[in-house]
Structure 1
Amino acid sequence: MRRPWIMKQEWNDLLFIHWPVKVSDLRPHVPDCFEIDTYDGWAWIAIVPFRMANIQLRGLPVVPGFNQLLELNVRTYVRYNGEPGVYFYTLDANHITGVSIARYVFGLNYVTARMSLRQNDDTYHSLSRRTHIGMPPAHFHARYRPLSPVLRTQPGSLMYWLTERYALWINRGKRIYKGPIFHQNWQLQKAEVEMPVNGLTDFLPSYVFDQKPVVYFSKSLHTSIFPFERYL
């Protein structure tokens, strides 16, 4: 039986920005212990800006000032022992304490950044400037807005494959950890994005980002995080 959840979070005003990428171009940037997951022969890279709110640790009250932050992550999709999940390259956030806890407790590559996410009418503006000591600078600026009503995600579709992921995978030295995540199906809308600045994915060839991305917006999603499971 799975142990009880350890943290609840709410993800708001979230944008998935996805590009297909050749497995051979992505392979040097994914630990060898993980198989790169593919859809129709392509790997995928994503940038995901959003607002995290109502962060609550099990058994503790919600603490004002510590229950919300902005996040901007770069991720791809992998398998371990055949089980699909998310692999994070970086997770920029504007909360120094939250970054420190996530790095120390979970081993995730969280880094500090100055960030803002504001809404003007139906358009969102996401800006980030990385400030983490020991990390190269990385700036990001995007404008995005939803274009459609909420869509139904069908199993087997690209939309479902990209977003319905219920685990993250981490390697810490020789050890592999799985972080189970539970949530209801995403409520997704088609969206459009303009990115005047993207310094988050310079490790990949420029051809990847010359393509028009696959973009989805979600207004809100409630999630539960469960204790990490050690595999090695």
Structure 2
Amino acid sequence: MPPLFTVTGRDVLFAHWPMDSEALSRHVPDALTLETFDGTAWVSVLALENGAVGVGPTTPPTSVGATPQLNLRTYVTMDGDSGVYFLSLDTGRRVAALAGQRGFGLPFHHATMRLTRRDGRITFRSRRRGGATPAARFGARYRPTGPVFEADRETIESFCVERFRFFFPAGEDRRVDALQVGDGNHGGVRVGTISREPWELRPVEAEIRRNTLFEAADLPRPTTEPVVQYSPGFRMGIDPLETRDAAGRRSE
């Protein structure tokens, strides 16, 4: 089955922090189980420039519609399937925030954002103003420093980046009917699947200058330096969503 959409992006900063499982679990739906690495839960920030969205398998020109995006996510399982659970997503384009909310039911927010490049270094700034959602700010400067590699299995890099599903509560789903798969059971969980090649990663020098995403999500502020990686870019397909009930059964 061809994807519903194809999305591209570039200059991705991954920053991963260990997190207390008890503090994190209350933010995750009961139908999902926090997944840990060596007994520790993790929360990651992804700062990137998202490209335009193409319909089906079409790859849009990367120079069209590029806008910064900022993802805060953790790692979960359901019925043996691993994936990510988004705690928040910020985008520099208001229409993209509305499309993410209404098209996929995801916790998107509109923010004032800027990504600049100079002398091989990327500077990323984001400011989500208060109001209906908690205010949040993030700022980072980063520069790739080494050759491209793929994450080895059983490493923290693989645990945090090689994910092919995302989950969110069906009760939050405000998608248009054309995107639905299943019977719309609002007592369950929506599952999205993506298709892509393994991430191309590089070592990176990164300075996190400002980060209040955790406080905005009602999570403890990190007390350690993050584990960081960089990726020059990606191309991924987003497949139709499916519904599962609390026991993990798929809707027909």
TM-score of the superposed pair, with normalisation by structure 1: 0.92
Q: Deviations over 1:94-116 (max 9, x none)?
A: 11111111101210001000100
Aligned position for 2:206: 193
Which of 197, 202, 205 in structure 1 is aligned with 2:220? 205
What's the % identity of the aligned pairs?
31
Matches within 5 A, 1:26-105: 26-58=24-56, 67-105=65-103
* Mapped partners of 2:59, 2:228: distance in 1: 36
Q: How does 1:48-197 map to 2 (within 5 A)?
A: 48-58=46-56, 67-131=65-129, 133-173=131-171, 174-197=187-210
Does the 8 Å CA contact 2:6/2:53 hold for their aligned counterparts? yes
Runs (4+) of structure 1 exceeding 6 A deviation are 63-66
RMSD: 2.0
Q: Following the alignment from structure 2 to structure 1, what is the Cα–Cα distance between the partners of residues 32 and 82?
A: 10
Structure 1 unaligned regions, length at least 5: none
Contact 2:52-2:66 at 8 Å conserved across structures:
yes
Task: Report the CA distance between 1:210 and its aligned residue.
Answer: 2.0
How many Å separate the matches in 1 of 2:235 and 2:139?
Answer: 26
Q: Structure 1 stretch 129-138 or stretch 88-97: which is displaced more?
A: 129-138
Q: For structure 1, which segment, 138-147 or 41-50, has the greater mean C-alpha deviation from structure 2 after superposition?
A: 138-147
Work out whether residues 55 and 68 of structure 1, in 8 Å CA contact, stay in contact via their aligned partners in 2: no
Gaps of 5+ in 2: 172-186, 246-252
Question: Partner amino acid for 1:82?
Answer: G
For 2:181, the equivalent position in structure 1 comes to: none
Greater share of residues in strand: 1
| TM norm structure 2 | 0.85
**Aligned length in residues:** 228
More displaced, 90-99 or 56-65? Answer: 56-65
Contact 1:79 1:85 in 2 (8 A): yes
Deviation at 1:194, TM superposition (A): 1.4
Bigger mean CA offset, 39-48 vs 17-26:
17-26
